[in-house]
A and B are shown apart, each in its own frame.
Chain A
């Protein structure tokens, strides 16, 4: 950060104002104009500018001590302690202009600031930055508006400009410590003369002096960076809290009986004020360090240090907000997966408030007792029957008149969810709650599938020529096998089913257990070699082995659970942005940020859908969204 201009205006009458930053020559009245007179102001002395009342107006003018010393064509902050006199008339009040705009390239306007009482709304003040483009066109950036505090009432005005592209400039305005506007402009072509002059109090464009300022300029600061909201607020607190607080502290510490602070206007009172303000400023510096050193509020000059510490490289035109976010999210990664910090980190790139973003995490254990009135969207209905929740149970139904033979892959009338086994063991259990309407040649029960290899394992109850049996059946590589009965099934359900790994590891072998007693007791287990490997889906199914259209079949199910101890989904997480939110999210950018901030042992993605998105070009034709 560089201070380009700093005017204290504390010179007494007869002494020309000067730039404390040392970039400007002393300021003189422009030819034919008068110098604003020193007057009492909040900091001690300010300069009283008046409008041209015929022959004279007040204008201060100076040239750079060295070429380009005050040339600012990109980021900018102008901060002024000032009053403005609206009763002087409706014309604009020019506070500062860098460049005479006399038609020469050397005097192009790099920046300017003006105030104006709003036309049609007396008492409302517009504050507006301006500059000239390379074609010599004067560009006014969108204004901020505030209510006039009153003629002669001093306030702090801050205007910032952030250049992002040749067609994008962001301006912010603050009065005292309150932001009043943040707006974008397409006028990113900012010219600026190499030998431009700086003018205070009017503008001399194209040889005509006009738009005179009337009011008091107490102090003015011009920086070549965009100050943040936090920095503006801290300056305000320094001026209004800490420094007066230092004086009060000193008065409070005066020995009893001494009335040094009784009269702030006498010599003792003024000395006390000098000391107290110095004390307050020291406190303010300490508080500024405490408030602004951490990266969430860091000023721009601290950003490179934090980025060096974190090993981050900013892009050339990253805003301070973006750089803060990047560092904070990087540190959040170092500290673990801190969800609020993560949401905050994605605010800007996903163009949404942190509260509107969700961090989705997976579990390797799925339980569904079908207590919700609607099916959870984790379930995929193959649409060849109907699936619904009724009375806290899942109901699968075959419509009357349809052909409900099992398919080579899949099952007629099935509901399934994915299993993330990680190539390791898995456990699946479920309950057949009722199968009173299970007709001859119909099956109901658990279904496990590898749809790519066309492997299916059915485990449940089959009406075998009028006899209901508990048993299993497979299709391997698409070739159906024979039904294997394990036991006679009760005439009425329920039957509890479990599929677990066998006692000794064996690919394609499972322990199939059933109970007609209860969820936790009475199980009979049988280890079978099925040939069904790499199971990816599990659920409930209902099908027939005959082709004829039959009466409707229905079965109800409950208490599904799957557990994949070797699954990797717990290490997947997703930043989810609801697609119904308005705005312009940058998903590729968000995924780049994900890659940067995610803990190394996790896999993550940013997404706008909670469904599988295989084949979505936004994700490189891969499924990166939650399952």
Chain B
């Protein structure tokens, strides 16, 4: 049925010494599946080499952190993918996603981000991540939420999202990430809402609206002389 279908996801391995982050496929993709890499890193160190055969879809962020999305149509033979970072001295995190359907050229319909400050009030931890609404053309689109924060913070996604992965690591510096997804299920303005955290922190959240294709345009049913058998009960 129409729409992107997320098949599997996996966590990459960051090698601080070699300044590499290696994404291993969680599941053998079928030729034609869409592979997407999420790469989160410190804003001060944005440089990385796009792996051969991959397309850089977006790369944005601000002081708190920066995110890149890369995509590739699978030929069914991929194994591990290595992203080489230059001058990496802080933590790199991310996720590899496998979608059925979709194409790198049309995948990202909209992207928005906002910084957040988590406060640890007693019993009411929250992250203020509410950002500007993104416009989603189709209700079948997927909303990919990525949150990144300094420190070892445990974050929970807003209502309606399913967490794909959430972890903290400190191989070069301490950083936490959360990757979550949901079907948009509505058109128009999409917000990613407030999430939860267990500690004081500052960070950045991104919402990517992903689609499998543009809406189709039906061809006209026409005849030079009207008069055809139509619907039958």
Contacts and interface: CB of A to CB of B under 8 A. Distances in A.
B40 to A, nearest CB: 20
A150 B214 CA distance: 17
Query: Which interface residue of B1, B6, B9, B100 has the most chain A CB atoms within 10 A?
Result: B1
Contacts of B166: none
Contacts of A580: 8, 10, 26-27
A578 to B, nearest CB: 6
A355 B187 CA distance: 32
B219 A235 contact: no
Interface in B181-201: 183, 185-188
Nearest to A263: B225
Interface stretch (A116-124, A197-205, A399-407, A473-481): A116-124
A145 B7 contact: no
Interface string A168-186: 0000100110111111110
A233 B222 CA distance: 18
Contacts of A613: none
Interface string B135-155: 101111000000000000000
Given A150-B220, A264-B224, A120 B135 contact: yes
A178 B218 contact: yes
A184 B224 CA distance: 40
Interface string B200-227: 0000000000000011111111111111
Contacts of B2: 178-182
Contacts of A270: 225, 227
Contact of B233 (A142, A155, A221, A265): A221
A523 interface: no
Interface in A125-177: 126, 142-150, 153-156, 172, 175-176
B230 A183 contact: no
A156 B225 contact: no
Contacts of B227: 43-44, 270, 273-274
Contact of B216 (A81, A126, A180): A180
A229 B185 CA distance: 21
Interface centre among B2, B137, B164, B224 (most CB of A within 10 A): B2
Question: Max chain A CB contacts within 10 Å: which of B26, B183, B218, B224?
Answer: B218
B219 A149 contact: yes
Contact of A147 (B100, B216, B224): B216
Given A154-B220, A580-B26, A277 B229 contact: yes
A20 interface: yes
Interface in B99-133: 100
A42 interface: yes
A529 B61 CA distance: 76
B3 interface: yes
Given A181-B140, A581-B8, A582-B9, A6 B233 contact: yes
Interface string B1-22: 1110011111000000000000
A269 interface: yes
Interface in A177-224: 178-185, 218-221, 223
A273 B225 contact: yes
Contacts of A3: 233
B226 A41 contact: yes
B217 A239 contact: no
Contacts of A277: 228-229
Interface string A85-126: 000000000000000000000000000000000111100101
Nearest to A152: B220
B30 interface: yes
A150 B230 CA distance: 21
Contacts of A219: 230-231
Most buried by A among B2, B30, B229, B232: B229
A97 B140 CA distance: 25
A43 B138 contact: no
Nearest to B227: A44
A329 interface: no
A154 B225 contact: no
Given A146-B216, A580-B8, A580-B10, A118 B137 contact: yes
Nearest to A277: B229
A373 to B, nearest CB: 15
A281 interface: yes
A147 B215 contact: yes
A97 B137 CA distance: 25
A42 B226 contact: yes
Given A178-B218, A221-B233, A269 B225 contact: yes
Given A42-B221, A145-B215, A147-B217, A582 B228 contact: no
A169 to B, nearest CB: 12
Contacts of B229: 43, 239, 243, 277-278, 281
A239 B228 contact: yes
Contacts of A65: none
A353 interface: yes
B95 to A, nearest CB: 12
Contact of A81 (B27, B183, B215, B221): B221
Contacts of B137: 118, 121, 124, 145
B221 A356 contact: no
Interface of B: 1-3, 6-10, 26-27, 30, 100, 135, 137-140, 164, 183, 185-188, 214-233
23 contacts: A21-B233, A44-B228, A81-B231, A119-B188, A120-B135, A126-B187, A146-B215, A147-B215, A149-B218, A153-B220, A176-B218, A176-B221, A178-B2, A179-B2, A181-B1, A183-B139, A183-B183, A221-B233, A239-B221, A243-B228, A356-B27, A578-B8, A581-B8
Interface of A: 3, 6, 8, 20-21, 40-45, 79, 81, 118-121, 124, 126, 142-150, 153-156, 172, 175-176, 178-185, 218-221, 223, 229, 235, 239-240, 243-244, 264-265, 269-270, 273-274, 277-278, 281, 353, 355-356, 578, 580-582
Given A44-B226, A172-B1, 11 more contacts: A3-B233, A6-B233, A41-B226, A42-B228, A43-B227, A43-B229, A149-B217, A181-B139, A182-B2, A356-B30, A580-B26
